Structure 1
Amino acid sequence: MCGIALLLSGDIRIDLSSLLLDSSSRSPTDFHRLDVSVDDIKATLQRRGPDSLGSKKLFLKWNKSWSSVEEKEILCMIEGSVSENGSTARHSIAELQFIGATLQLRGVYPISQPLVDAFGNILAYNGEIYGGIYVDSDSNDTEILMQTLGQYCSCNFDEHSETCTCDGKMQSSVPDVLSAIKGPWAIIYWQAHSKTLWFGRDAFGRRSLLVHWPTSEDSRFLLSSVSPTSPFVQTSEFEVETKISSLNFWEELLCGIYSLHFDASQSDESLLGEVKKHEWTNSMLKDLIEWKRASVEPKPEELHISRCRSLMVKHTMPSACSDLLLTKSAQNVLFALKESVMRRTSQHTIFQGVPCDTRQKEFVPVAVLFSGGLDSMILAVLLNDCLDPSYDIDLLNVSFDGQSAPDRISAEAGLEELKRIAPLRRWKLVETDADLSKLTSEIKHVMTLINPANTYMDLNIGIALWLAAGGDGWLYKRLDTNNDDGNRRVKYKSNARILLVGNGADEQCAGYGRHKTKYRNGSWHGLYEEMKLDMQRIWKRNLGRDDRCIADNGKEARFPFLDEDVIKTLLDIPLWEVADLDQPSGIGDKKILREVAHLLGLHEAATLPKRAIQFGSRIARESNRKTFGSNRAANQASAGSLVIQTPTDMT
């Protein structure tokens, strides 16, 4: 994991008609061409501190041995290879440059992307495989995926084709392979024998992949995990930086599997490329995408039983809160979540690149994005259960109001509860203190990370995530002293390369205020439809942005609540067992996760209300004061959803 990219240029016409794209959104009147180059993308990926960074060029050219236009054939030549007549690839009609940056977290031996196999296939992969394709404990999942893709045919890149030219030796296809993967991924794959470029991202968009579709102003086709900075963005004050929001150069690639098949044009010397979007072939995955829940509206007696049990749990002393009072559903969710965390933190999925003695003394493999709230507390306890006890666990917290921010207060209280539950674990609460007025260059940088997201809320969340994920802060360290005042604050920077994040918990368990509004206005079905909408747009509203902001620090975000099995488990539970929004905040919202917290012994965390990072860290308050003058003025302007103003808009 770290990042991938592709730049396609040359004399090629790309047909996007099957995608039904909105051309007006891709060719705004104020369009500015971004001179994005290979070096720009490499420089942006290099910031992430990859273990390796590589690139491969592929040239497409005519086979000159064919004499007539009707018999033209496309030759594929990788840079450095030799053609039949002994010359290197020159006079190409199209060039594809693949880029791969690897933060290696799996396997015994180091690898460098993009991978190229003996058949000329090229793979750049940013993801993890937790199931669906077998990966041995000492293997690298990217290498296994390369081998697996090489075994399958490409005959159904044309979904209208009914014949297979692979002589029956290969029965599955690229969409079959990618649909089987459990885990987050983004992929760029060149299949040499079919002259087809495959690309896409997993069904929930847990890994960033941006696209620039060809336009009349810029005919290149680009894919990238990152949004490199435009040169003109570097030269102005904060407000002028926001000009980037009007460019519309990049957009989040809609989740799915795509093919770009190259064929010889019969009318001229150009290439013709047709882009198609393919259906997922995994039936379980299709169900998760559609987010169908069988039980939405309860019968009166079902709701009565559920609420009586909740009252019993609420009024029972924590030490006497028996598992018998909690639902079988909560136990199923706990099991699924624990398995999810285990898959994301087991030692064979963490590249062991340092000696064992150094690892145990200095290396912290996994951290938690930590507010002390319900979701992060659950993840911290499950991580403690799954991670070797010899390792420390870093809890990363950010505040824009020192020790007074709500998330700092709850994080410190949460740390004490974790110490009671797991006293032998070495917990490290890493406190990052930020002053928004002193972050001018950092704000400029984060704006390039969140792009194409473009609201003040996106920027506030992006800054908070970026700073917290950096893990550069303070620890309270116990001193060897007999004095009562035995703690002192020392500088510390987390070196964990895996960061557990709670994305997906609120969307699936009705944690947002708008869920209560929808429930009041539309009852159970209104709530269900709003939650479904949240899950089906999480790729665009949250995950791409968050992945880019966290990965910029050389860390990989992992989302246990968005594990396929966790999503399925939650969908199998009646909606009124997941949330009951007639109940007060801190009880009915995310009801099922509060029961999970009780099962884990987190009785204090189980009652905490939902608080978004921009409010809990108080960056929203500081941003509102800076940009609008006050919180009141910001609320009147609906600052949360307001698009960042460009200089033109502000005159």
Structure 2
Amino acid sequence: MCGIALLVSGIRIDFSSLRLDSVSPSSKTQQVVSLEDLKAALQRRGPDSLGTKKLLLFHSISLLNSGNSLVSSVTEETHVLDNGSNGPECFAELVFVGATLQLRGVTPVSQPLVDSYGNILVYNGEIFGGLEIGSDNNDTEVLMQYLRNCCSCHSQEHATTCNFNGQKKGSVPDVLSQIKGPWAIIYWQESSKTLWFGRDAFGRRSLLVHWPNLEDPRFLLSSVSPTSSSLQSSDFEVENGTNGIKFWEELSCGIYSMSMDATHLDGGFLGEVKKHEWTNVMLKELIEWERVSVEPKPEELYSSRFKTLTVKSDMDSASSGPIPAQNVLTALRESMMRRISLHNIYQAVKDGARQKENVPVAVLFSGGLDSMILAALLDEYLDPNYEIDLLNVSFDGESAPDRISAKAGVKELRRVAPLRRWRLVHIDADLSKLTWETKHVLSLINPANTYMDLNIGIALWLAARGEGWVCEESSDGMDEDKCVSYTSRARILLLGSGADEQCAGYGRHRTKYRHESWLGLHEEMKLDMQRIWKRNLGRDDRCFSDNGKEARFPFLDEDVIRTLLHIPLWEVADLDQPSGKGDKKILRKVAEMLGLHNAAILPKRAIQFGSRIARESNRKTFGSNRAANQASAGSVVIDLPSYLG
């Protein structure tokens, strides 16, 4: 799946119980988003199919007995319903949109799905565990079967499993709480006339919401902010929300319901929105993000450092190393296996025949610690007949730090995995020539609107596009005299997102530790994990999906998160140690166990700095890096006319 959307009109929506910080303000300038805009934005992603379903609700007030009825009808096209009543009718419309990127199952599936009971589902996600999915099954179809068997009561009244007509039934939140993997969902439950929607607990799939306001009383959900057809002028400030008017906002992680009711006063419709609790105890623990041990005793810290010194010389194989690192490596291996298996794209290799043109999985690759671990793990579980694309973005040619480390990283990967054909894709860009691309990425990252968001968004979007050049391999590495243009066709991209947040990889973690010791460090890391959906993942998912690619995050697997939380903080990171050693300490041990000795000592470097797009952006916008630093450029809201010149 690569995107979903919903447009609701004709319903007065009550979302007061959500206690929102703000509601989209009224303004003389109105962003108009149509159904065609939503479809066009999803079509850009190159789905295998795109479909719509329109659900009409009508309320008939009988003049004979003053009775009320709420009736629904699913149709491909809007039409007027005539139920033979002799009273006025009020209509409401819900339009579901689903764009499908077929990655699982052997039979093509188009969304939205509509079953024989009138339930409607659009689902953007992957089920890697929690619900049983057969190797030949499509996870969306299986999820529909689980949801079909749910009870019709609201979960506030659903304390235990319902006994419905003699059958025990769980609730919709029960089913969604069991899913392991990234997801965003919109689901109409016909039996209760209830709309369900939401996104997974960490926000690994984007879902934007427009809450009704005076200018636009509709309720909208979408995987991406479309470029409005009514704003194709130079007024990009309004289009992208940079003038303070925000049409869209990131939907907070969680499960929501909107129960429909026909009001008795005017015959109209009222939709009451509520947010529901997760029902999975383990998932709640991960969301609360409480570590088993935070502050070490002096002897525990000494012992940990002593073991690091004595074990280091015995880490030449993946079977050696301290127990916490072994546990993390095991969890990462299982996470990787789940993310690259059971996909129909692998059927291209038959009887061991090598398909050079079919590269199913690529890695966003800087040559740094996280991407090196992902590449080495991918090699362990991907069929050896496949080549692996390593996507590296540079705004400074061969001189960018990430390009230099990527070349070194490929050499190390060839040493630990000599039978694999590694393809380093050089993706070069000149920021001054990316006028159209910049405007487009501004629309994609919306509602994010800082220079840092834009810089990261451009780099990720270019990486996902995969257009660059590759060099032929020679006996001592790459032959730079034999380079050709190349575009990666991989539909699955692996990213290291979540590694820094969970393992103290940011510079501000070290600052926090310096001022507030271990407890302060833990609270800062907890804050990062609990806001990663808003600061990172929604934005990143929109930039990758725009190119018809699906981003997957092995470090954000539920079992990996749980494993790391059960390890004492001083085993995860020791920020008394220098950069490249104490930060992400546990992952450096994992790298050593994989034989990645050079990668294990590399310092953290964010993509906007490693690719040097931040430097080019600072020069363009602020005149110099020094001026940008003085202005805290990363957090500055974009001044679009100035930026675009």
TM-score band, normalised by shorter chain: over 0.9
Greater mean deviation of Cα atoms: 519-528 or 164-173: 164-173
Matched, 1:115 2:113: yes
| 1:521 matches 2:522 | no
Q: Does residue 439 of structure 1 match 2:434?
A: yes
CA contact (8 A) 1:293 1:574 kept: yes
- 1:536 corresponds to: 530
- Aligned pairs for 1:283-432 within 5 A: 283-312=281-310, 316=313, 324=320, 326-346=321-341, 348-351=342-345, 356=350, 360-432=355-427
C-alpha displacement at 1:353, in angstroms?
7.0
User: 2:48 maps to which residue?
Assistant: 51
Q: What corresponds to 1:15 in structure 2?
A: 14
> How far does residue 152 in structure 1 lie from its aligned partner after superposition?
1.2
**Could you give the per-residue CA deviations for residues 134-163 of structure 1, whole angstroms, max 9, x where no partner exists?**
000000000000011001112124548999
Q: CA deviation at 1:240?
A: 8.2
Which amino acid letter does the alignment assign opposite residue 397 of structure 1?
Answer: N
* Equivalent-residue separation in structure 2 for 1:245 and 1:170 (angstroms): 52
Q: Deviations over 1:585-608 (max 9, x none)?
A: 000000000000000000000000
Q: Is the 8 A contact 1:31 1:248 kept in 2?
A: no
Give, in angstroms, the shift of residue 328 of structure 1. 0.1
Rate the CA distance shift 1:240–1:401 in 2: closer, same or farther, 3 A.
farther
C-alpha offsets along residues 193-248 of structure 1, whole Å, 9 cap, x if unaligned?
Answer: 10000000000000000000111221000000010013465432887876545321
User: Do 1:205 and 1:255's aligned partners in 2 also have CA atoms closer than 8 Å?
Assistant: yes
Secondary structure of the 2:497 match is coil
1:578 maps to which residue?
Answer: 572
Query: For the structure 1 residues 619 and 67, does the alpha-carbon distance in structure 2 shift closer, same or farther, using more than 3 Å as the test?
Result: farther
Deviates further, 174-183 or 262-271: 262-271
* Secondary structure, counterpart of 1:425 in structure 2: coil
1:13 to partner: Cα distance: 1.3
1:451 corresponds in structure 2 to 446
Give the deviation of 1:447 after TM superposition.
0.2
Aligned mates of 1:240, 1:103 — CA distance in 2: 31
User: In structure 2, the residue corresponding to 1:259 is in which secondary structure?
Assistant: strand
Q: Which deviates the most, 105-114 or 233-242? A: 233-242
User: Is 1:559 the counterpart of 2:557 in the alignment?
Assistant: no
Label 1:86 to 1:45 Cα distance change in 2 as closer, same or farther (>3 A): farther
Aligned counterpart for 1:172 among listed residues 170, 173, 198: 170
Q: Residues 241 and 444 of structure 1 are in contact (CA less than 8 Å); yes or no, is this contact kept in structure 2?
A: no
Aligned equivalent of 1:273: 271
Call closer, same or farther: CA 1:391–1:35 in 2, change over 3 Å. Answer: same
- Give the deviation of 1:166 after TM superposition: 2.7
CA 1:5/1:237 → structure 2, altered by over 3 Å: closer, same or farther?
A: closer
> Alignment partner of 1:520: what SS?
helix
Cα deviation, 1:535-589, whole Å, max 9, x if unaligned, reads 0000000000000001111100000000000000000000000000000000000
Q: Is the Cα contact below 8 Å between 1:240 and 1:646 reproduced in 2?
A: no
Return the alpha-carbon distance in structure 2 between the equivalents of residues 588 and 355 of structure 1. Answer: 43
Task: Count the aligned residue pairs.
Answer: 639
Q: Which amino acid aligns with 2:588?
A: R
Residue 469 of structure 2, aligned match among 469, 474, 480: 474
2:180 to 179, 182, 185: 182
Residues 40-76 of structure 1: CA distance to partner in whole angstroms, max 9, x if unpaired?
111111111100000000000024557455x311101
Structure 1 residue 17 displacement after superposition: 1.0
Give the secondary-structure state (helix, strand or coil) at the position aligned to 1:246: coil
Mapped to 1, the partners of 2:102 and 2:243 lie a distance apart of: 33
Structure 1, 235-244 or 181-190: larger mean CA deviation: 235-244
**Distance in 2 of aligned mates of 1:352 and 1:252:** 34
Alignment of 1:61-100 (within 5 A): 61-63=58-60, 67-69=64-66, 71-79=67-75, 85=83, 93-100=91-98
SS of the equivalent of 2:73 reads strand
Structure 2 gaps, min length 5: none
Distance 1:533 1:67 in 2: 60
Deviates more, 1:391-400 or 1:158-167: 158-167
Q: Quick one: distance in 2 between partners of 1:202 and 1:527?
A: 26
Once residues 46 and 509 of structure 1 are traced to their aligned partners in structure 2, the CA distance between those partners, rounded to angstroms, is 37
Q: 1:552 to 1:86 in 2, by over 3 A?
A: farther
Residues 577 and 97 from structure 1, CA distance in 2 versus in 1: closer, same or farther, beyond 3 angstroms?
same
Query: TM-score scaled to structure 1, two decimals?
Result: 0.93
The equivalent of 1:101 in structure 2 is: 99
Q: Equivalent residue for 1:550? A: 544
Shift of the 322–448 alpha-carbon distance from structure 1 to 2, 3 Å rule, reads closer
Give secondary structure in 1 for the equivalent of 2:169.
coil
Q: Deviations over 1:329-365 (max 9, x none)?
A: 000000000100100001x234457574898332100
How far 1:169 sits from its partner (Å)?
1.6
Contact 1:476 1:488 in 2 (8 A): yes
Q: Report whether the alignment pairs 1:592 with 2:586.
A: yes
Aligned to 2:337, the other structure's residue is in SS state: helix
Equivalent AA in structure 2 for residue 416 of structure 1: K
Q: Which residue of 1 aligns with 2:234?
A: 236
Choose from 250, 257, 260 the match for 1:259.
257
2:208 & 2:549 partners in 1: Cα distance? 19
Give the distance between the partners of 1:17 and 1:485, measured in 2 at CA.
Answer: 63
Describe the shift of the 1:303–1:49 C-alpha distance in structure 2 as closer, same or farther (beyond 3 A).
same
1:489-500 matches, within 5 Å, as 489-500=483-494
Letter matched to residue 405 of structure 1 = A
TM-score by length of 2: 0.94
Partner Cα distance (1:133, 1:310) in 2: 39
Q: Tell me, in whole angstroms, the C-alpha distance in 1 between the residues paired with 2:163 and 2:300.
A: 56
C-alpha distance 67-596 of structure 1, shift in aligned 2 (>3 A): farther
Q: Structure 1 residues 32 and 435, CA, compared in 2 at 3 Å: closer, same or farther?
A: same
The CA deviation string for residues 379-429 of structure 1, in whole angstroms up to 9 with x for no partner, is: 000000010000110000000000000000000000000000111101100
Q: Residue 388 of structure 1 aligns to a residue in which SS?
A: coil
Matched residue, 2:245: 247
Other structure's SS at 2:258 match: strand
Q: C-alpha root-mean-square deviation of aligned residues, in Å? A: 2.7
Deviations 1:236-285 (A, max 9, x none): 28878765453210000000000000011021121111000000000000
Percent of aligned positions with the same letter in both sequences?
A: 69
Output the CA distance in 1 between the equivalents of 2:266 and 2:411. Answer: 72
Any idea what SS the aligned residue of 1:589 has?
Answer: coil
- The answer to whether the 8 A contact 2:18-2:274 is kept is yes
Query: Which runs of 5 or more residues in structure 1 are unaligned?
Result: none
Equivalent AA in structure 1 for residue 609 of structure 2: F
Give the corresponding residue for 2:34: 37
**Alignment correspondent of 2:455:** 460
List aligned pairs for 1:156-167, cutoff 5 A: 156-159=154-157, 166-167=164-165
Deviations 1:158-193 (A, max 9, x none): 548999683242420000000000000000000001
Describe the SS at the equivalent of 2:154: helix
Residues in 2 aligned to 1:486 and 1:614: alpha-carbon distance in whole angstroms? 26
CA distance in 1, matches of 2:196, 2:549: 26
The structural deviation recorded for 1:310 is: 2.4
Indicate conservation of the 8 Å contact 1:479/1:487, yes or no: no
Q: Distance in 2 between matches of 1:162 and 1:478?
A: 61
Letter in 2 for 1:336: A
| CA distance 1:445–1:42, change in 2 (3 Å) | same
Letter paired with 1:13: R
